[in-house]
Amino acid sequence: MAKEKIILTGDRPTGRLHIGHYVGSLKRRVELQNSGLYDKIFIFIADAQALTDNMENPEKVRQNVIEVALDYLSVGLDPSRSTIFIQSQIPELCELTFYYMDLVTVSRLQRNPTVKTEIQMRNFEASIPVGFFTYPISQAADITAFKATTVPVGEDQEPMIEQAREIVRRFNYIYGETLVEPEILLPDKAACMRLPGTDGKAKMSKSLGNCIYLSDSADEVQKKIRSMYTDPDHLRVQDPGKVEGNTVFTYLDAFCCPEHFGRYLPEYANLDELKAHYRRGGLGDVKVKKFLTAIMQEELEPIRNRRKEFEKDIPAIYDMLREGCEKAREAAAATLDEVRRAMKINYFDDKELIAEQARKYRGEVQG
């Protein structure tokens, strides 16, 4: 049998999801789901991982589980095709993490660039929680428990996937071929890799208030784009403008396709023409922002409308998640069976081991 193609990915429930999540990963997931090319798809809400740096604020994590689930459903993830579940409900992941911890050194974890910057960002230097420090190991468990072949994530997750691959190789080397090495699947457009905040800052973050959320109203989206950071030296319409580092153009790079011009800005054939005009001078920010607004509303409106529908029956969302957890748990339990067998810690199923020990104590073999 050809190796199954299995997708696994997830998000920390620390807030509603924004358009950075959308272009960086969610949109792709839905395309992959609908492509029919994958045998299984697992999408999960990483509540236990979210606790590793929100231990003071568990209620935030708890409240946001449903927000993320609603965002998932509203972008078009479909529970009949993708198993959507909550990390903490799968105890097998803890067991696997515990075994993987023996395969990773402290210095290897210290070299993880994503963990390094996150530790700085959170001022953890002096007091890193062990759980936070080791979350790349638990993330390897998330991925491998489902035998994922493909992990669609943003580029900041690259070190995590590399760490998972190393663990897989080491496990398989010691215990025999058991686990599957995952591949990362990055967004194909550079602009989608890391969408900046509306203020032009590198990262969208709730605390900076520079995110456009999938659940924002049409009004909020319009306001946020109207006040978006552009080229600070582009003061008058006739001035030449810079496109690089200009958030409106970065967003257009991520969201715009040629058909949008036909619908909303027929004077231009494509984004290159629009950029050229902006650079030359004579094109005002307001016009470009209006164009971006039209594109964003077109993309976000169906998402917003679907969310409204799903919000009407919250208990049904929890039911969906419960079913997802049950299915996910079955898959993880099957892998754990194999892992325990490979590690030979399945003592009670191992008739040979019991017979061998019995022979030893009858003096039939040298102990």
Per-residue exposure over 6-44, b if at least 16 CB sit within 10 Å of its own CB, e if not: bbbbbbbbbbbbbbbbbbbbbbbbbebbeeeebebbbbb
The least distance separating ligand TRP from the CB of residue 152, rounded to whole angstroms, comes to: 8
The answer to whether 187 and 151 are in contact (CB under 8 A) is no
Q: Which of 109, 348, 176, 275 is nearest to 357 (CA)?
A: 348
Residue 128 vs 143, nearer CB to ligand TRP: 143
Backbone angles phi, psi at 211, to 5 degrees: -110, 150
- Indicate the residue type of 78: D
| Residue 40 is a binding residue for ligand TRP (CB under 6 A) | no
Residue 138 vs 247, nearer CB to ligand TRP: 138
The least distance separating ligand TRP from the CB of residue 87, rounded to whole angstroms, comes to: 7
Residue 120 vs 217, nearer CB to ligand TRP: 120
The least distance separating ligand TRP from the CB of residue 182, rounded to whole angstroms, comes to: 8
Residue of 6, 43, 46, 320 that binds ligand TRP (CB under 6 A): 46
Residue of 6, 7, 12, 109 that binds ligand TRP (CB under 6 A): 12
| Residue 221 is a binding residue for ligand TRP (CB under 6 A) | no
The four Cα atoms 47, 48, 50, 52 give a dihedral, to 10 degrees, of 170
Q: Which of 28, 25, 20 is nearest to 10 (CA)?
A: 25
C-alpha torsion sign, points 357, 363, 365, 367 = positive
Q: Which x/- pattern, by CB under 6 A, does the window 157-196 give for ligand TRP? A: x---------------------------------------
| Residue 11 is a binding residue for ligand TRP (CB under 6 A) | yes
Residue of 153, 186, 265, 295 that binds ligand TRP (CB under 6 A): 153
C-alpha torsion sign, points 232, 236, 237, 242 = negative
Q: Which stretch binds ligand TRP (CB under 6 A): 5-13, 173-181, 215-223, 325-333?
A: 5-13
Residue 163 vs 250, nearer CB to ligand TRP: 163
| Residue 9 is a binding residue for ligand TRP (CB under 6 A) | yes
Residue of 10, 24, 197, 241 that binds ligand TRP (CB under 6 A): 10
Residue 182 vs 241, nearer CB to ligand TRP: 182
The answer to whether 4 and 40 are in contact (CB under 8 A) is yes
The least distance separating ligand TRP from the CB of residue 210, rounded to whole angstroms, comes to: 18
Count CB atoms within 10 A of the CB of residue 233: 9
Residue 88 vs 246, nearer CB to ligand TRP: 88
The least distance separating ligand TRP from the CB of residue 28, rounded to whole angstroms, comes to: 13
Residue 6: CB partners within 8 Å, gap ≥ 6?
Answer: 38, 39, 40, 41, 42, 146, 147, 148, 149, 150, 180
Residue of 6, 7, 137, 143 that binds ligand TRP (CB under 6 A): 143
Whole-angstrom distance, CA of residue 30 vs CA of residue 11: 15
The least distance separating ligand TRP from the CB of residue 153, rounded to whole angstroms, comes to: 5
Q: Which 8-state DSSP code applies to residue 343? A: T
List residues binding ligand TRP (CB under 6 A).
8-12, 46, 49, 139, 142-143, 151, 153, 157
